[in-house]
Amino acid sequence: MNPIPTGTIHRQVPAGRLLAVLGILAALGTPSVTLSGNQAEVYIGEAYFMSGSFQEAVEYLTISVEKEGDKAHRALYLLGRISLLTGDFRQSKEFFERAFENMPQSIRWRAQAGIGDALYGNGQYEEAIRRYRVAKSDAPGISNVAAVELKIALCEMALGREEKARVRMRKAMGQIPVLSAWSGKEEAFYQSLSMQGLKRGPRTVNRIFVNVGPVSRVIRGLEDIGISADVSSERQKIGNATFLQCGPFNDPVEAMIFAETVKSKTSLKAEVQIQ
pTM of the model: 0.79
| Domain co-membership, 160 together with 29 | yes
Find out whether 131 and 116 touch, Cβ atoms under 8 Å: yes
pLDDT tens digits, 158-195: 899 999 999 999 999 999 989 888 888 888 888 777 65
pLDDT digits (tens, 9 = 90+) for 29-53: 444 444 455 578 888 998 888 877 8
User: What is the domain range of residue 95?
Assistant: 15-195
Tell me which of 191 and 71 has the higher pLDDT.
71
- Determine, yes or no, domain membership for 8: no
The residues pairing with 233 across neighbouring beta strands, listed in sequence order, are: 246
Burial category of 37 from C-beta neighbours within 10 Å (exposed 0-12, middle 13-18, buried 19 and up): exposed
The reply to whether 10 falls in a domain is: no
Q: What would the mean pLDDT of 97-124 be, rounded to a whole number?
A: 94
pLDDT given at position 253? 87
Q: Are residues 23 and 107 in the same domain?
A: yes
Q: Which stretches of 114-221 are assigned E, i.e. beta strand? A: 208-213
Beta bridge partners of 270: 212
Residue 156 falls inside a structural domain: yes
Number of domains in the chain: 2
What does the pLDDT average to over 77-95? 92
Same domain, 88 and 211: no
Residue 232 lies in a domain: yes
What is the layout of strands, in order, in the sheet containing 241-246? 233-238, 241-246, 208-213, 269-274
Residue 6 covered by a domain = no
> What is the pLDDT at residue 26?
46
C-alpha atoms less than 13 angstroms from C-alpha of 121 in its C-beta half-sphere: 29
